[in-house]
A and B are shown apart, each in its own frame.
Chain A
Amino acid sequence: MNGMAKAVHDAVVKGMPIEAIGTGLDAEQRALLAVAIPASKQVPTVDGPQEAWAVSPAAVATGA
């Protein structure tokens, strides 16, 4: 995951093209990165109700 972390930072923050990053990632990681880069534009940068949480993980875990 360390390699993926650096690849995400290069792509999302530095804006590097996907072809130029992610050397050393395996095929599964490359496929995920290919989904992540365009999808990152959909991820809210402001926290709040638009996060669309239907249920919290803690509630799933405990049944609360």
Chain B
Amino acid sequence: MPDAFSDTVGLCTGAYRRRAERACRKAINLAPPHTGYRRRLLTLVRGWVRASQDAAPLADLPALACYAGGGYPDQAAPIGAAWWLMRLAAKLLDDAEDGDAGERPAELVNLATGLIFAAQLSLDELESWGLSSGEVGRIGRELSLAGLRACTGQHADLLGAERIDTIEPDSWLTIATSKSGGPLGWATWAGATVAGVSPAVADHYREYGAQLGVLLQVADDYDATWRPDAPSDATMSRLSLAGAYGLLVAEGEDRERLEDRLARSRQGDAAAGAEVGRLLTDLGAKVFLLLAGRSARDRAERALAEAGCQGAGAAPLLDLVHRVFPALEHFEG
């Protein structure tokens, strides 16, 4: 595969990032200056941008889709601003829901709520790129719909964690598609839309982003199951595709042992967690997760082909789906 983040694309996304950060600040500066709220939001965004400026393909997703659709990456800067603000809001809310918000979770929730409103405001900047207010409104509406889908998936995830043994692979996939596929699908759809592609073609870009989102969730789950020391959003204490697979196919003593070790792992028993990984491997869960990942990757590639996306424009997006889940190299062919 070519190097996706080649010098050419890298230079273009540099302008995109600067403009996106400026659009973030402009939207946040619409908040009243007193109480320090606005300053806190600006500090959070500055930290987020710094943390992701070296190598953050997902931060550049709207620009890459815009470039692939025949536009200039920096045309997508207002989309990028909304995308960054929504992702940062989602991270803060996720931390609060997971109990990782420190001593002031209520403050974090209020900051995240402000970021969601700022994300919508940042889209106003699109009018300076020649989009009509109707087109800007449609892009904002789609962002709200993607957010609602993500919240619906998160709701199912939170409830499912209380009855983990009833979740099957199909349910897990539905949750992953809502939680991750919805927002990533919006980022690529909106990026391609501002490039001027037709609505039908933009829908193929949305499908690419949605499948990339599912692929990320599968890869994160694989990591959490077999590399618990690796950085990951997933843990064995939450819903997992590997666990859902194991509980669907295991029978008799295998199932009893798996249920017991999963329960102990959720209580923080590291040895039980390691045994869960071994049990799931014996049940064929690695093969199943790789197959699920391969399926999502194939669908993402097919969506790009159906969008007529090829050559230099397609290379960064194709490279991205190949970087997300390196263990898929076992499944080439």
Total count of chain A residues near the partner, CB < 8 A: 38
Partner of B216, one of A8, A45, A60: A60
Partner of B232, one of A54, A55, A58: A58
Please give the distance in Å from B252's CB to the nearest CB on chain A. Answer: 13
A8 touches B326 (CB 8 A): no
The answer to whether the Cβ of B54 comes within 8 Å of any Cβ in the partner chain is yes
* A 47-59 to B, binary, CB cutoff 8 A, 1 in contact else 0: 1000111111111
**Contact A54 B169, beta carbon cutoff 8 Å:** no
Given A36-B287, A45-B281, check contact A59 B231 (CB 8 Å): yes
A61: which B residues are within 8 A, CB to CB? 58, 216, 220, 233
Query: B168 an interface residue at 8 Å Cβ cutoff?
Result: yes
Question: A5-B249, A56-B230 known; 11 other A-B pairs, CB under 8 Å?
Answer: A1-B169, A4-B288, A8-B291, A12-B287, A36-B287, A38-B333, A39-B331, A53-B327, A59-B55, A61-B216, A61-B220
| A23 interface contact, C-beta 8 A | no
Interface residues, chain B, with chain A CB atoms under 8 Å away? 51-59, 168-170, 172-173, 216, 219-220, 223, 226-227, 230-233, 245, 248-249, 277, 281-284, 286-288, 290-292, 294-295, 298, 320, 323-327, 329-333
Q: Quick check: B331 and A2 within 8 Å, CB to CB?
A: no
With A36-B291, A42-B330, A56-B231: A51-B245 Cβ-Cβ less than 8 Å: no
Best-buried of A4, A47, A63, A64 by chain B (most CB within 10 Å): A63
CA–CA, A13 and B51, complex, Å: 43
Given A52-B329, A57-B216, answer yes or no on A5-B51 (Cβ-Cβ < 8 Å). Answer: no
Complex Cα distance A1/B248, Å? 11
Least Cβ–Cβ distance between B97 and chain A, in angstroms: 18
Question: With A63-B56, A63-B59 in contact, is A36–B173 under 8 Å at CB?
Answer: no
> How far apart sit A27 and B223, CA to CA, in the bound complex (Å)?
29
* Beta-carbon contact of A8 and B219 below 8 Å: no
Which residues of B have CB within 8 Å of A42? 330-331
Shortest beta-carbon distance from B170 to chain A in Å:
5
